[in-house]
Amino acid sequence: MSQQQKDEGFINPNPVVYSKDESENNSSLYNERFTEDEETPDDFDVYEIFDLVRDINDPEHPLTLEQLNVVRHENIKIDISNNIIRLYFTPTVPHCSMANIIGLSIKEKLSRSLPQRFKVDVKVTPGSHSSEQSVNKQLNDKERVSAALDSSSSILNVSMHNVITRMFKC
């Protein structure tokens, strides 16, 4: 660990960086290739949801959530009949104190990007975080999420970590 990283208090000073998935399926155009009937509305698929969150910046590193393998299309579940989008994210370390910020960032991005009829459920991938139940409970507490989002114009701003941490009593 470099002295600068120690001074800045990185949780994970040397994260593994994954290559970006450039496959054809990871594109918003994925549905267009399979939908020929213009009168039939396109349902969302996991690739479209993944496209919405893949480029969210990590709050600790100048990398995206995709590059850190925090979000993966395999961890997105869609229940169109009940209008539920469920996304599981995997923090880079089991003791990640930024898990709430990452989860809020994902939840906010999806909530602002999808039609209001969808319930967005964001959770930590089972077994990937030491405080998994606590983080999941906090991310799905409407009052806490609303208060955290109202207190900041940009939840991706690392300086907001202290405010959000206090709100979630991490």
Domains of the chain: 16-168 (3.30.300.130)
CA angle 49, 100, 53 (to 5 degrees): 15
Please give the average per-residue pLDDT across 55-82, as a whole number: 93
Q: Helix, strand or coil for residue 114?
A: coil
Per-residue pLDDT at 5 exceeds 60: no
Amino acid at site 123 = K
Q: Which two tokens stand for residue 158?
A: 């690392």
Per-residue pLDDT at 26 exceeds 60: no
pTM score of the predicted model: 0.71
Q: When comparing pLDDT for 25 and 50, which is higher? A: 50
Q: Which of 136, 141, 142 is nearest to 102 (CA)?
A: 136
Q: Which of 7, 5, 12 is nearest to 128 (CA)?
A: 12
Q: What is the pLDDT of residue 145?
A: 80
> What are the tens digits of pLDDT across the range 101-153?
999 999 999 998 999 999 999 999 999 999 999 999 999 888 888 777 776 55
Q: What is the pLDDT of residue 62?
A: 87
